[in-house]
């Protein structure tokens, strides 16, 4: 295949698709635990959600949970921010969410979704947002 250098191409992020083994369980986690809001759209059997600035679709076609283990394996990691990391930690504990790494002095934690996909959660820094 010939590489064209005369044609500028831009790629734009659209959505993150999360393959899951159990749609009901995964919807419960992303909607009821993380607060994702349904987006009315036909996703070909894949419901769509808004989670902060992210658009997420859930694709119920996985046969097994993720075999990846953090930090041994390469993997995508969903990055979320919260206004209060300690309150988020307590909320996630009460919801029975697997905690991979609790928050520490560096104000972030790692959790897993129902299929073992890693999610990184950081304390929101409003000063950082105002600089951009």
The tens digit of pLDDT for each residue in 57-110 reads: 999 999 998 888 888 888 888 999 999 999 999 999 999 999 999 999 889 999
What's the whole-model pTM score?
0.85
Specify the pLDDT at position 58: 94
- For 37-86, give the DSSP string: EEE----TT--EEEETTEEEEEE---SS-----TTTS----EEEEES-HH
Mean pLDDT of 14-29: 94
For the cut 90, the answer to whether the pLDDT of residue 34 exceeds it is yes
CATH architecture designation of domain 16-131: Roll (3.10)
Q: What is the mean pLDDT of the chain?
A: 89
Give me the residue spans of the domains in the chain.
Answer: 16-131
């Amino acid at each position: 295949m010939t590489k064209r250098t005369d044609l500028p191409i831009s790629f734009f992020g659209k959505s993150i698709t999360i393959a899951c083994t159990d749609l009901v369980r995964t919807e419960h986690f992303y909607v009821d635990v993380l607060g994702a809001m349904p987006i009315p759209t036909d996703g070909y059997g894949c419901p769509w959600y808004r989670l902060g600035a992210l658009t997420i679709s859930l694709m119920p076609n996985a046969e097994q949970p993720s075999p990846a283990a953090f930090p041994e394996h390469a993997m995508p990691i969903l990055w979320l921010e919260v206004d209060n990391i300690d309150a988020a930690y307590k909320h996630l504990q009460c919801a029975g969410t697997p905690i991979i790494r609790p928050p520490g002095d560096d104000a972030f934690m790692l959790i897993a979704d129902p299929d073992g996909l890693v999610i990184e959660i950081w304390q929101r820094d409003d000063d950082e947002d105002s600089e951009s």
